[in-house]
Amino acid sequence: MSNEHGKPVIGFTSGDLNGIGLELILKTLTDHRLLDVCIPVVFANNKCLNFYRKSLPDANFNYNNTKDLTRLNPKQVNVVNCWEEEVAITPGQLTEAGGKYALISLQQATLALKEGQIQGLVTAPIHKKNIQSADFQYSGHTPYFKAYFNVPEVVMLMVAENLRVGVVTEHVPLQDVTKYITRENITSKLKVIHSSLQKDFGIDKPRIAVLGLNPHAGDEGLIGNEEETIIKPAIKDAKHSMMVFGPYSADAFFAHGHFERFDAVLAMYHDQGLIPFKSLAIGEGVNYSAGLPVIRTSPDHGTAFDIAGKGRADHSSFLSATFECIEIIRKRFGYAEMRQNPLKKMSARMIANAVDERIEEAEG
């Protein structure tokens, strides 16, 4: 989990240079208490950081420039200059440079993550169209990481304090959603969510809810038949290895607070899951890529070009993403350690049983 300093190394990508990404990084890492729990490494350029620091007069941001990730300063923010050339920054504008250097930052940080030089990565928002190139032909970060790490399935899992929402389809046009609502896709997503809840969130026996696709979950076939022919059979398949329930009508499910009875929710498409999630998370939601061999989080919002460069960006979600990244590293490390040494788990169970016996004796 950590290096010789006992703290995980957390990487940060710049995001689109004309968006709010670098401002979020500056505001988050100005809180020096973060240095007690991690070693931050920003993959960007010190000149670009200094550009945005001018709009944040209260930011107490000191950093250490480095080219060697084996020689980090554990008491400062570390900045890796991913490029040396001057870059024109025009906050709020869609420019070729904004996407080009966002990709350079992402590529270098992802390589460091793959090689174990950093233990977790927090990605600042990219503009999904502006970053498109021969090296990036994806609809967002999640499919990029899926392809880079060559894993069969990932889930965009939105995480808040008491709510976790995954989606079967991510950035797919609404008219194409039904093409991807298959029995196989649903069970595949459920398996990833179940595994992640256990190893990344420390939930031994997670309960997962599945939403229907149609209004009122199809009303038993009256309003569409996907629930009867696809979703219910997928849930039945999954029940052999996990506790999964549904399908539920999406509107009533969130309106009546039913999500509080579950550890995670699987929605069928983007807005079905993310609109209620963002409404309930109140600006502190986190996007987590479940199913990867590495740990990557991000804030639950975009580049916010309309306020870029004005010092008005709210970094609450970005700060939550940073702490969530650190916490998942800790949970995953503990899970792996426990699996490597089953005696520890056995000992914990024996202690719990002994305590229960003492309580029973006392009550008897």
Structural contact between residues 295 and 119, judged by C-beta atoms closer than 8 angstroms: yes
pLDDT(360) > 90? no
How high is the mean pLDDT of the chain?
92
12 by Cβ neighbours in 10 Å (0-12 / 13-18 / 19+) ranks as: buried
Give all strands (DSSP E) within 161-221, no chain letters.
163-167, 207-211
Same domain, 10 and 146: yes
Same domain, 62 and 25: yes
Same domain, 271 and 297: no
Same domain, 218 and 168: yes
pLDDT tier for residue 212 given thresholds of 50, 70 and 90: very high
Count: domains in the chain: 2
Query: 72 has which bridge partners?
Result: none
Among residues 291, 306, 335, which one ends one of the domains?
A: 291
Q: What integer pLDDT is reported at residue 349 of this predicted model?
A: 58
Among residues 265, 291, 317, which one ends one of the domains?
A: 291
Lookup result for tokens 């250490």: 64
> Which domain, by its residues, includes 201?
153-291
Query: 42 has which bridge partners?
Result: 12, 79
Higher per-residue pLDDT: 303 or 2: 303
Among residues 245, 274, 291, which one ends one of the domains?
A: 291
Same domain, 72 and 138: yes
Same domain, 242 and 324: no
Same domain, 199 and 244: yes
Give the pLDDT confidence of 326-357 residue by residue, as tens digits. 999 999 998 877 777 655 554 555 555 655 56
What element of type H or E holds 304? none
pLDDT tier for residue 5 given thresholds of 50, 70 and 90: low
Nearest to 247 by CA among 224, 231, 264: 231
Residue 55's CATH number: 3.40.718.10
Q: Which of 39-53, 119-133, 173-187, 342-356 has the lowest mean pLDDT?
A: 342-356
